[in-house]
Amino acid sequence: MVGPSRPQIVLFGSSIVQMSFGHGGWGAILSEVYARKADIILRGYYGWNSTRALEVVDKVFPKDAAVQPSLVVVYFGGNDSMAPHPSGLGPHVPVTQYVDNMKKIALHLQSLSDSTRIIFLSCPPVDEAKVRQNQSPYLSEVIRTNELCKTYSDACVELCQELGLQVVDLFSTLQKADDWETVCFTDGIHLSAQGSKLVAAEVLRVVKEAEWRPSLHWKSMPTEFSEDSPYDLVSADGKKTVNSSEWTYFWEEQWD
């Protein structure tokens, strides 16, 4: 454990989480925004569904941990929503079971501490044509449709409303972009840099607008080791130093 201790923001989900530090990903964006304020911790598992996540949620988030996360961002649903394979194998989970799994995951996270906050991300859309085009010779046919994605997204949003949880409706969010099927994905399923920017913006918006005390909005959180120092860069007039701890000019985009 390195110090000083910071609030923990955990990203828990399937490939859209595991890959969120690549391709200009939304996890990398959050790490940049929360630099010197909170630690962004990645717990992403390519190909997983909500059933598999439920099997390990108590190992990823043990109740007896010395420090509990301040925020958990949870995404499962894309793999659950795949059409079932005739063999009965594969990641498909019926929508009723998906809702039950996500509810149990939410209840476990809520039990960690009174101050652990939760955001669910719902199932995003896909570029159906590209998904069909990118079929692997090593895998059975992957059937992912926007009709199925919307069913699982709606179910996730409804569950969050029932439980009073914050949620980002990815199915609607990504489709707000012009030419979204082309610009939001790398392969029809996983997020491009532009798609990740939309996800990051929505997560940051939810955090800013949530009435959480203490606030987890990055502008409201203290910056680590932000005191003035004679070792800071020297001002143009040579008479003082300039504190750079809050500078963000180097960000590709200025986030709110």
89 within some domain: yes
Return the CATH number at 30: 3.40.50.1110
pLDDT digits (tens, 9 = 90+) for 166-197: 999 999 999 999 999 999 999 999 999 999 99
The pLDDT value recorded for residue 141 is 86
Catalytic residue among 122, 153, 169, 190: 190
Q: Is 190 a catalytic residue?
A: yes
At 240, is the pLDDT very low, low, confident or very high (cuts 50, 70, 90)?
A: very high
3 within some domain: no
Pairing of strands 117-121, 71-75: parallel
255 within some domain: no
Tell me if 151 sits within 8 A of 104, measured CB to CB: no
- Name the one residue in this structure whose structure tokens are 């998906």: 98
In angstroms, what CA-CA distances link 75 with 103, 107, 141, 255?
13, 15, 23, 22
Alpha carbons within 13 A on the beta-carbon side of 232:
18
250 within some domain: no
At 142, is the pLDDT very low, low, confident or very high (cuts 50, 70, 90)?
A: confident
pLDDT digits (tens, 9 = 90+) for 84-141: 999 999 999 999 999 999 999 999 999 999 999 999 999 999 999 999 998 888 888 8
Residue 71, pLDDT above cutoff 90: yes
* Segment 142-168 mean pLDDT: 97
Residue 23, pLDDT above cutoff 90: no
* Segment 220-245 mean pLDDT: 97
Q: How far apart are CA 205 and CA 209, in angstroms?
A: 6
Amino acid identity for residue 211 in this structure: E
254 within some domain: no
Catalytic residue among 5, 58, 187, 245: 187
Q: Average pLDDT over the chain, rounded to whole?
A: 96
Tell me if 159 sits within 8 A of 207, measured CB to CB: no
The pLDDT value recorded for residue 145 is 96
The pLDDT value recorded for residue 2 is 87
Catalytic residue among 14, 31, 70, 122: 14
253 within some domain: no
What percentage of the chain exceeds 70 in pLDDT? 100
The pLDDT value recorded for residue 1 is 72
Q: How far apart are CA 126 and CA 192, in angstroms?
A: 12
**What is the chain's length?**
256
Q: Is 235 a catalytic residue?
A: no
256 within some domain: no
* Segment 69-96 mean pLDDT: 97
Domain total in the chain: 1
At 209, is the pLDDT very low, low, confident or very high (cuts 50, 70, 90)?
A: very high
Q: For residue 228, what are the domain limits?
A: 8-242
At 210, is the pLDDT very low, low, confident or very high (cuts 50, 70, 90)?
A: very high
